[in-house]
Chain A
């Protein structure tokens, strides 16, 4: 595999994670339990969409077929998306959204921190910009994890249910393939097993503080689904909502 092809694959993964998570969080607009949380979740969504635009336009440039980030976002089919299953999971209640966000924020933060040392100029510049935003996301979701986990009996139970549900999707975040190996060799991306040990430690500290428990790791799912373009049943619904307008009216401008 050429370095260019590997980088394209990698940018698509990062871009799809940001895009799908941004779309998911956007669903909260006007629905959160208080105005501040509504604004916070949609602000995080906006940052993710912004990051997705940067990543997918760089991927489109690399592809060199004259396509734009919009083409990649709106005109690819489900099996061509390479996001992690975690980000496409349902919002559920506020606690479930916060848990998904927390598990992902810690991952994204440390990944970006590693990209700040990347040999690839774009990835480095992207990370130095985005990490400032993600620092705020991580602080928001961490605060809520502790507040709800170490809250009432009801909030504690809901948070534990959310961890039990989402934990099995975290293994996939650290799966590596040939694209990772090619780019690791070139000093462009980090070894995800190193990110995993940092992630494990930080996530455990916060979950402990929140008086919650990490489920039995036998439920730790690492399926290679992403590599094959396999998704959960939720993905189709996300794409149909997100892609309907640009696909039915491809020349629409606003």
Chain B
């Protein structure tokens, strides 16, 4: 198995709702292995139970691998549960440049449960004077914030 090549192919598969994040950056790509028949078994995990992008992601992975001549099968696993801690450094950087504030803290820090967020930086003007408008945003994984300096609203990738 040409691991480097397979990784490159999978790296080209993006989250359809946040096209700056690859499935590896998002942390939903959990494992790749070869079955006895030589098939690639790709294991992915949903971000949220009801994430409507999962079907598209599965199809995109198969399409990308098949077009390079790999026979593949997708497995979905819910355990261990996806956490924003799995977002890569590159993923976080890409999110912010795209205008979505990356998760501000780690889930090992329980402050996210009480809603007392740490410093949350506006992805536009970088001010930390921000406030939450809504617990929920345009997709399950985001909340809506507003910057009190530049007055722009922005999405925040919720820490779970």
Q: Which residues of A contact B (CB under 8 A)?
A: 36, 39-40, 43-44, 46-51, 53-54, 121, 124-126, 128-130, 132-133, 135-136, 139-140
Q: Which residue of B lies closest to A121 (CB)?
A: B79
Q: Is the CB of B49 within 8 A of A47?
A: yes
Q: Is the CB of B81 within 8 A of A128?
A: yes
Most buried by A among B48, B78, B80, B160: B48
Q: Is the CB of A43 within 8 A of B113?
A: no
Q: Is the CB of A39 within 8 A of B138?
A: yes
Given contacts A129-B81, A135-B160, A136-B135, 18 further A-B contacts (CB under 8 A): A36-B133, A36-B134, A39-B136, A39-B138, A43-B136, A46-B52, A47-B48, A47-B49, A50-B49, A53-B50, A54-B78, A124-B79, A125-B80, A133-B49, A133-B160, A136-B136, A139-B115, A140-B136
Which residues of A lie under 8 Å from residue B115 when comparing CB positions? Answer: 139
Q: Is the CB of A53 within 8 A of B137?
A: no
If A40-B135, A126-B78 touch, whether A132 touches B140 (CB-CB below 8 Å) is: no
Q: Choose among B50, B133, B135 the residue that contacts A48 (Cβ–Cβ < 8 A).
A: B50
Q: Choose among B79, B144, B160 the residue that contacts A132 (Cβ–Cβ < 8 A).
A: B160
Residue pairs across A and B with Cβ atoms less than 8 A apart, 21 shown, are A36-B136, A39-B144, A40-B134, A44-B136, A46-B48, A46-B52, A47-B49, A47-B140, A49-B50, A51-B49, A51-B50, A53-B50, A54-B78, A125-B78, A125-B79, A125-B81, A129-B81, A130-B49, A135-B160, A136-B160, A140-B136
Least CB distance, A99 to chain B, in whole angstroms: 18
Bound-complex Cα distance A28 to B150 (A): 32
Q: Is the CB of B158 within 8 A of A129?
A: no
Q: Which residue of A lies closest to B76 (CB)?
A: A54
Q: Which residue of B lies closest to A135 (CB)?
A: B113
Secondary structure of the B contact surface, majority rule: loop
Q: Is the CB of B158 within 8 A of A47?
A: no
Bound-complex Cα distance A160 to B112 (A): 30
Most buried by A among B49, B135, B160: B49
Q: Is the CB of A50 within 8 A of B46?
A: yes
Q: Which residues of B contact A (CB under 8 A)?
A: 46, 48-52, 78-83, 113, 115, 133-138, 140, 144, 158, 160
Q: Is the CB of B78 within 8 A of A46?
A: no
Least CB distance, B26 to chain A, in whole angstroms: 16
Secondary structure of the A contact surface, majority rule: helix
Which residues of A lie under 8 Å from residue B50 when comparing CB positions? Answer: 46-51, 53
Q: Choose among A49, A51, A128, A136 the residue that contacts B79 (Cβ–Cβ < 8 A).
A: A128
Which residues of A lie under 8 Å from residue B113 when comparing CB positions? Answer: 135
Q: Choose among B52, B79, B80, B135 the residue that contacts A140 (Cβ–Cβ < 8 A).
A: B135
Bound-complex Cα distance A13 to B81 (A): 23
Bound-complex Cα distance A68 to B48 (A): 20
Bound-complex Cα distance A4 to B137 (A): 40
Bound-complex Cα distance A139 to B49 (A): 18
Bound-complex Cα distance A53 to B51 (A): 11
Which residues of B lie under 8 Å from residue A48 when comparing CB positions? Answer: 50
Bound-complex Cα distance A53 to B144 (A): 27
Bound-complex Cα distance A43 to B140 (A): 6
Q: Is the CB of B138 within 8 A of A129?
A: no
Q: Is the CB of A129 within 8 A of B79?
A: yes
Which residues of B lie under 8 Å from residue A139 when comparing CB positions? Answer: 115, 135
Q: Which residue of A lies closest to B139 (CB)?
A: A43
Least CB distance, A82 to chain B, in whole angstroms: 20
Most buried by A among B50, B78, B79, B134: B50
Which residues of A lie under 8 Å from residue B160 when comparing CB positions? Answer: 132-133, 135-136
